């Protein structure tokens, strides 16, 4: 019996050693950051109509809070940033086929994305809210039987579809991006837009609109950067630089530029 236990113990130890060795080999063979470093270019995938995170200015340049963060990260790593507009509804496909190195565009974290991608540490808090033009729509109850717009392929869409507010709506209208949804709200095509509070408030201020953000939201969220599952080295490198930026004040400087705090 003692020999049997000893044999089992040795087998378990050998198995554990092999697993540890395999994990070490995986880390050692992860060339994801070295590939980007060698190419000298870091390709960032984004929805280029998502202010203030990533969007086009009047000269058609892609700018935004996330873009400034990424530029600083790339500057510190000695590589060039390339911004690549993508269809938000097909973002995982764009990532996994290698067309982009990451998805960095005010991307909310949920269980499905955590399963599909290798996510960075969260770097910004957000809240999902309704914005309305009609002052008579003051709460969720008043949205019953109304048309609510939302971005197609977003966490907002999934959240709204599953909520009581979404089920009580006359219609949930999907749009390719939030700006188009907000313009449809302006024209009266929809009664409300369900979106990120950061995006809504920035759009309201910059476009001088007298819209209301309802106090009753549906969820608090955080933003993270999405990498391919296997690209641990690239994810860890970008993560480390962001932490360094938070420690030395550069992150706060960029945040103050876009959010005033």
81 lies in which domain range? 32-123+224-259
**What integer best gives the mean pLDDT of the chain?**
88
217-235 residue pLDDT tens: 888 889 999 999 999 999 9
Q: Does 139 share its domain with 208?
A: yes
Q: Does 113 share its domain with 158?
A: no
Rounded CA separation 57/177 (Å): 16
Identify the pLDDT of residue 28.
52
> Could you identify the residue written with the tokens 């070490």?
24
Confidence of residue 261 (pLDDT cuts 50, 70, 90): low
Q: Return the H-helix or E-strand segment holding 10.
A: helix 2-28
Q: Does 172 share its domain with 99?
A: no
Q: Are 74 and 191 in contact (CB under 8 A)?
A: no
Q: Is residue 22 part of a domain?
A: no
Confidence of residue 20 (pLDDT cuts 50, 70, 90): very low
Identify the pLDDT of residue 49.
87
* pLDDT(245) > 70: yes
* Prior bond of 52 cis (ω within 30°): yes
The CATH code of the domain that includes 166 is 3.40.190.10
Q: Does 74 share its domain with 54?
A: yes
Q: Does 73 share its domain with 97?
A: yes
Report, in angstroms and rounded to the nearest whole number, the Rg of the chain calculated over CA atoms: 22
Collapse the DSSP code of 121 into the 3-class scheme (helix H, G, I; strand E, B; otherwise coil) and give the result: coil
Q: Does 60 share its domain with 141?
A: no
How far is C-alpha 131 from the geometric centre of its chain's CA atoms? Answer: 20
Rounded CA separation 235/229 (Å): 9
Q: Does 232 share its domain with 113?
A: yes
Identify the pLDDT of residue 18.
47
Q: Is residue 25 part of a domain?
A: no
Q: Is residue 103 part of a domain?
A: yes
Could you tell me the strand order of the sheet in which 62-63 lies? 49-50, 54-56, 62-63
Q: Does 162 share its domain with 132?
A: yes
101-144 residue pLDDT tens: 999 999 989 899 999 999 999 999 989 999 999 999 999 999 99
Identify the pLDDT of residue 221.
87
Rounded CA separation 123/168 (Å): 33
Number of domains in the chain: 2
Q: Are 198 and 206 in contact (CB under 8 A)?
A: no
Q: Does 131 share its domain with 212?
A: yes
Identify the pLDDT of residue 107.
92
Collapse the DSSP code of 109 into the 3-class scheme (helix H, G, I; strand E, B; otherwise coil) and give the result: coil
* pLDDT(199) > 90: no
26-73 residue pLDDT tens: 445 799 999 999 999 999 999 998 889 999 999 999 999 999 999 999
Confidence of residue 203 (pLDDT cuts 50, 70, 90): confident
Q: Which residues contact 126 (CB under 8 A, 6 or more apart)?
A: 106, 108, 196, 197, 198, 220, 221, 222, 223
What pTM value is reported for the model? 0.73
Q: Is residue 242 part of a domain?
A: yes
Identify the pLDDT of residue 27.
45
In the chain, what percentage of residues exceed pLDDT 70?
89
20 or 155, higher pLDDT: 155
Q: Is residue 138 part of a domain?
A: yes
Identify the pLDDT of residue 3.
38
Q: Does 155 share its domain with 193?
A: yes
231 or 200, higher pLDDT: 231
């Amino acid at each position: 019996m003692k020999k049997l236990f000893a044999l089992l113990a040795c087998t378990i130890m050998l198995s554990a050693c092999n697993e540890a060795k395999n994990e070490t080999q995986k880390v050692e063979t992860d060339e994801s950051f070295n590939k980007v470093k060698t190419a000298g270019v870091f390709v960032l995938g984004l929805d280029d109509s998502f202010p203030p995170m990533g969007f086009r200015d009047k000269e058609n340049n892609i700018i935004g809070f996330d873009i400034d963060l990424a530029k600083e990260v790339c500057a510190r790593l000695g590589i060039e940033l390339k911004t690549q507009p993508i269809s938000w509804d097909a973002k995982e496909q764009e990532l996994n086929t290698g067309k982009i190195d990451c998805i960095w565009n005010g991307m909310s974290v949920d269980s499905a994305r955590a399963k599909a991608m290798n996510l960075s540490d969260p770097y910004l808090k957000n809240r999902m809210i309704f914005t309305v033009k009609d002052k008579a729509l003051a709460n969720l109850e008043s949205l019953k039987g109304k048309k609510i717009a939302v971005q197609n392929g977003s966490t907002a869409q999934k959240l709204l579809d599953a909520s009581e507010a979404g089920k009580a709506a006359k219609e949930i209208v999907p749009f390719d991006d939030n700006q188009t949804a907000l313009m449809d709200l302006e024209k009266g095509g929809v009664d409300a837009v369900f979106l990120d509070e950061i995006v809504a408030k920035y759009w309201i201020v910059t476009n001088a609109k007298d819209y209301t953000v309802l106090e009753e939201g549906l969820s608090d969220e955080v933003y993270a950067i999405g990498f391919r599952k296997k690209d641990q080295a690239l994810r860890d490198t970008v993560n480390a630089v962001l932490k360094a930026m938070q420690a030395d004040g550069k992150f706060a400087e960029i945040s103050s530029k876009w959010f005033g705090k």
